[in-house]
Amino acid sequence: MQPNTLLDALLDEAGFSNAGLAARVNQAGRARGLSLRYEHTAVARWLKGQRPRGQVPDLICEVLAERLCRALTLDDIGLGAARDVELPSGSPLSGFVERAAALWRSDEQQRRYVIEAPAVTGTPAVMPVWEWENPPEDADVSRSGRTRVSPADIRMLRAARAHYELMYRRAGGIAARARIVGFLNAETAPLLRGSYSDGLGRQLHRAAGGLVAVAGICAYDSDAQGLAQRYFHQALRLAKASGDRGLGAYVIALLVNQSLFMAEYRQAVAFAEAALRAAGDRITPALASDLHVMQGKAYAHLGDGTAALRCIGRAEREAERIRPGHEPDETGYVQPGLVNVQAAEALLSLGDLSGAHEHAAAAVGSPAHDRGRVHRLAMLCQIELRRGEADRAAGWAEQMADQVRGMESQRLRDRLRAVRGSLVASGSSRAGEAAELIDGALRVPL
């Protein structure tokens, strides 16, 4: 029995306590000639997943719809026939918004069954991408709600996305995630449920999609892979509603990166191809370069060196076309040296140590945000170890340990541990000092 997160979120939106809902259901029942005596304990059981009997689900719908001034179905309150099945990302926007808000609320409440859920694979993982790429499109995203949305609200969401992205880069996803999820619940959900025209609504869904994508990045960085995937799928649905193919391609790039992390290499190739194909001329050089080089990494892991080198070449050509100031905010992560560090990993997988070292050194020599530099140093350290240059690797590891201080990131901690283990095994004269610095960074609690 799964907790009814939809009903929980709607009670919160309506401002009902458990006892308040029970009293109103009893009152609505009397109007139908029913003698009901529900108390707060009954509502608590419903929230835990128990389905009330008889006409009570309809009464709950009636009470909440009257309070929220909008029509609700049994599916909307989590009491329909498919109550334990999550609707696909291609579902109607009204139902999608309710389910998205329910997830945000469950995440903010730190519900373990949400945070610890595994990532889906196979058809459930592919369908949101297929639905984004294919018709039908949303003909009209306008909505009538209690909160009137203004252009100032959309500017606020855009500013929040930039703020939380910067926080993630400097402090890590664990520190940023709680804050961005709180913002989604307090500010974003009421706007999506609000009142707006089709034109303003598309801008709203685009701004919300960018923000939800950053929430997914923070979950990914916290190693909550199933939760991250759900956020990415939500962002993709919001991107479709916005009509912005470029935003959708950016979200798919996040799914490609996650697929690589989960060793789903064929899926990574297919997703990147879908983004490049469907976005067409809406894709920018920065995003195209990242998608191509991630494809190259996937092919390298699959042992297809020819395809990997072809994709790396395309990525390098696209990177040369990047024009600062002509890219959307979301692609700001594609900084100088990003293609190099990705190419280095691909070449390392192919056994080309010389080429991998050249690219990794170029990446470390290029400017990068804080967490990006940690990953670049880790890659160069790994390559130096493979080349038998353990003392040099230790020197880079010391820089990495110093750079990572103050960041709360499970992914970075995993990289630190991997580097430490390899250094100690190398027998380098500097390994002890580097390991001690890494231990100091790891002792900082998350």
The model's pLDDT over 36-56, given as tens digits with 9 standing for 90+, comes to: 888 888 888 988 888 888 888
Round to whole Å and give the CA distance between 304 and 296.
9
Of the three residues 194, 213, 243, the one that is the final residue of a domain is: 243
- Structural domain contains residue 317: yes
The mean per-residue pLDDT over the stretch 142-159 comes to 95
Report the pLDDT value the prediction gives residue 229, as an integer from 0 to 100.
Answer: 98
Residues 9 and 63 in one domain: yes
Q: Which residue has the higher pLDDT, 298 or 69?
A: 298
Q: Which residue has the higher pLDDT, 116 or 5?
A: 116
The mean per-residue pLDDT over the stretch 275-287 comes to 94
Round to whole Å and give the CA distance between 239 and 293.
23
**Residue 89 confidence class, pLDDT cut points 50, 70, 90:** very low
Three-point CA angle 66, 70, 74, nearest 5°: 85
Q: Which residues contact 117 (CB under 8 A, 6 or more apart)?
A: 226, 227, 230
Is the pLDDT confidence value at 324 over 80? yes
Q: To the nearest whole percent, how much of the chain has pLDDT over 90?
A: 71
* Average model confidence (pLDDT) across the chain: 92
**Dihedrals φ, ψ of 143, to 5°?**
-155, 150
Round to whole Å and give the CA distance between 224 and 339.
26
Residues 264 and 344 in one domain: yes
Q: Which residue has the higher pLDDT, 248 or 92?
A: 248
Residues 13 and 79 in one domain: yes
One-character DSSP codes across 434-445 = HHHHHHHHHTS-
Report the pLDDT value the prediction gives residue 1, as an integer from 0 to 100.
Answer: 67
User: Structural domain of residue 54, as residue ranges?
Assistant: 5-85
Is the pLDDT confidence value at 9 over 90? no
Residues 115 and 80 in one domain: no
Residues 71 and 98 in one domain: no
- Structural domain contains residue 416: yes
Residues 112 and 193 in one domain: yes
Is the pLDDT confidence value at 72 over 60? yes
Task: Return left, alpha or beta for 360; rule: phi > 0 is left, psi -120 to 50 is alpha, else beta.
Answer: alpha
**pTM of the full structure:** 0.86
Round to whole Å and give the CA distance between 111 and 108.
8
Round to whole Å and give the CA distance between 388 and 391.
9
Q: Are 99 and 247 in contact (CB under 8 A)?
A: no
Residues 331 and 349 in one domain: yes
Three-point CA angle 255, 256, 257, nearest 5°: 90
Report the pLDDT value the prediction gives residue 240, as an integer from 0 to 100.
Answer: 96
Residues 312 and 430 in one domain: no
**Dihedrals φ, ψ of 207, to 5°?**
-65, -40
- Structural domain contains residue 248: no
Report the pLDDT value the prediction gives residue 33, as an integer from 0 to 100.
Answer: 83
Residues 70 and 97 in one domain: no
- Structural domain contains residue 316: yes
Each residue's pLDDT tens digit, 330-339: 999 999 999 9
Q: To the nearest whole percent, how much of the chain has pLDDT over 70?
A: 97
Residues 166 and 303 in one domain: no
Residues 350 and 392 in one domain: no
Q: HSE on the CB side for 309, CA within 13 Å?
A: 8
Is the pLDDT confidence value at 340 over 80? yes
Q: Are 419 and 404 in contact (CB under 8 A)?
A: no
The mean per-residue pLDDT over the stretch 264-273 comes to 97
Round to whole Å and give the CA distance between 360 and 110.
38
**Dihedrals φ, ψ of 195, to 5°?**
-115, 125
Round to whole Å and give the CA distance between 263 and 294.
12
- Structural domain contains residue 249: no
Of the three residues 367, 398, 414, the one that is the final residue of a domain is: 367
- Structural domain contains residue 130: yes
Of the three residues 85, 112, 132, the one that is the final residue of a domain is: 85
Is the pLDDT confidence value at 62 over 80? yes
- Structural domain contains residue 363: yes
- Structural domain contains residue 251: no
Report the pLDDT value the prediction gives residue 51, as an integer from 0 to 100.
Answer: 87
Q: HSE on the CB side for 346, CA within 13 Å?
A: 31
Residues 78 and 146 in one domain: no
Is the pLDDT confidence value at 319 over 90? yes
**Residue 71 confidence class, pLDDT cut points 50, 70, 90:** confident
The mean per-residue pLDDT over the stretch 253-275 comes to 97
Each residue's pLDDT tens digit, 180-231: 999 999 999 999 999 999 999 999 999 999 999 999 999 999 999 999 999 9
Report the pLDDT value the prediction gives residue 34, as an integer from 0 to 100.
Answer: 84
Q: What is the number of domains present in the chain?
A: 4
